[in-house]
Structure 1
Amino acid sequence: MNSSITPKLNILKTETSRVKEVDFDNLVFGSTFTDHMFECDFKDGEWQNPTIRPYGNLSISPGAKVFHYGQAVFEGMKAYKDDDGRVWLFRPEANFERINKSAKRLAIPEFPRDIFFEALTTLVRMDKEWIQPGLGNSLYIRPFVMATQVGVSASPSDEYKFMILAAPAQAYYTGDVKVVIADHYSRAANGGVGAAKAAGNYGAQFYPTNLAREKGFHQIIWTDDSEHKYLEEAGTMNVFFRVNDTLITAPVSDRILDGVTRKSVIDIAKHNNIDVEVRPVLVSEIVEAAKDGSLKEIFGAGTAAVISPVSAIGHKENVYELTKPEDSYSARFKKDLMSIQHNITEDPFGWRFEVK
């Protein structure tokens, strides 16, 4: 669907900032939002009235199609502040490309690049006082779009709202996680929307994840939808396996999200001459590697958690404990990633984007 947009970004500033009311040492992830937010509406075949305004509630009809047919996609990205007070985004172009890829899959009009970056950088600049310096601190940024046309007919919406919210964040997971391999439920199917960041993908994960937690696990490693033979993602993250000194991860597909952190880990590994295999990963080979001791590490990779090491993996009635090696890949990749994001080290990949 082609779309156009009015060029002017309207800015309405809050009279009083709430930043001094925030306890930055005790944040609950994604529940405290900054002073401002961005919104833009798609009506009459074009994106119009792009506006940054004070954060606040929306008024929306209960007949809006997002509530009935799930036309909603989102992104997750972060801004960081270095020790000199400079503010950086991490690979924002990849997030922009992916939200439009997700939107296209759900028959949502794509959003123009120029207004996305103008809105994103303006919002981050306006609310930069909410970004705390120091490793582990960031501003989590949530662009999303939802169908707003009123009507319960089963058809794509003619109207949408694109928004960007921002929330100060600390570390998402504070410790290693215990995971179980799925042998019944699946995250996504061939030809489905697994490769899109569709809101419904995540809602559908909650029930099987609750079942796993009742058994003492934190998350699920999802398997393929037909035979449950192949390992695909871990919870809401891409997943990596270290067998001996080789790093293995599944290729992206209709079922697997093309994660920005995933791509970054692969590039960092190759840059450090670590053997990387991007290929289908059999459940049986990882279970066997856990049994014979060649499985050294499993970790998830995603924007919110960055790198989340796995301490144990469950399969059927068995649980295999993992002892983090001294030369931990997960610790190394997390350090390398965060050092680039926080402008502590050189960025040989050109991933940093300064918000001036």
Structure 2
Amino acid sequence: MMYTVLKEKIYDFFDAVSKNQKLYLPSDVKEDSANFVKYENGVKLSSALKTVRSAKDFFFPKTECLVKYVKEGKSFKVEDPRSEVEDFVIFGVRACDASSFGVIDNVYLKQEPVDSYYKNRRDHSTVIVLACNNPERTCFCSSYKIDASLSSKPSGADIACWESDGKYFFEEVTEKGKKLLESISVFETSGAGESTDETSDEKEVLKIKEEIKEKINALPFAKLDFSKIEKTPMLDLFNLKIWDKVSESCLGCGTCTYVCPTCMCFDVRDFDNGKNIEQVRCWDSCMYSDFTQMAAANPRTSQKERSRQRFMHKLKYYPDVYNGMYACVGCGRCLESCPVSMNIVKVIKMIQETE
């Protein structure tokens, strides 16, 4: 079923959704910089293609308390800080970010023990994926067979959405998405309504899809070659001489890992505020010199080892475990944010060019 909302009525749609549950959408937090924010009166939808940080934040937040130890005299009481997460909707997630949920799901949901903190948030979310009308030169999701035009049902989406000059088109992907579209009356009260000419709407959406595909195919990194990575044994890739070149300019700043939608490494720290002790999970980065440091030593003592670990995990370790699925979705954030311009596209090309 195709639903349409006139472009000037899109905030009526947002109002209708936010009456029943929290709604988050991309909004400009400063010039040329968008992030997901809670929708309320005055919040404007950003025209930016990508947010600075991905939608991963909703399911795997930067920090979260895992357990709390409350002091009671000379003893402690253990408290579970979790509370039932309310249902929420995320509008404007791009296909690359939506695909990244599956990468993290494999680790936190599809093997024991299931991460109940992560699962709770995933269960309560409804994701609306918006097609990319104007992909950027740094985008390369198509190299991983991710369809930014949403011609097929997008991975990680509950609802697919397309934007034209005058309308937004919505189509259910999952039962959860169908229930959301059916539960609100905005399509009637906004004046846009459920499509009265479905054939016309379908033709317009098809045109949008074809235009997006043409733009994607013209991008410089639309069709990266992974053949050597796939055919070369793990140890041979590990011992390539390129890793010296890859790491020689790396600052170890960790920016690439913090903007990456598929990075999921964390550290656990204890904080004592005098009244209780909180055990907190927080993002960590494999690019840091103290990452996974143990009492004896750090297992990766050089930036070469740390850089190699990051790219080997994305391109070899993870795919070998999860049936060829890469731990990269081609969002291009690392290309845009690395201060020394070292990124996964360059590494892929360097591997392909080795003798």
Do they superpose with TM above 0.5? no
**TM-score normalised to the size of structure 1?**
0.21
Taking structure 2 as the reference length, the TM-score comes to 0.21
More strand by share: 1
Report the structure, 1 or 2, having the larger helix content: 2
Flag the structure with larger Rg. 2
- Identify the structure with bigger relative contact order (alpha carbons < 8 Å, sequence gap 6+): 2
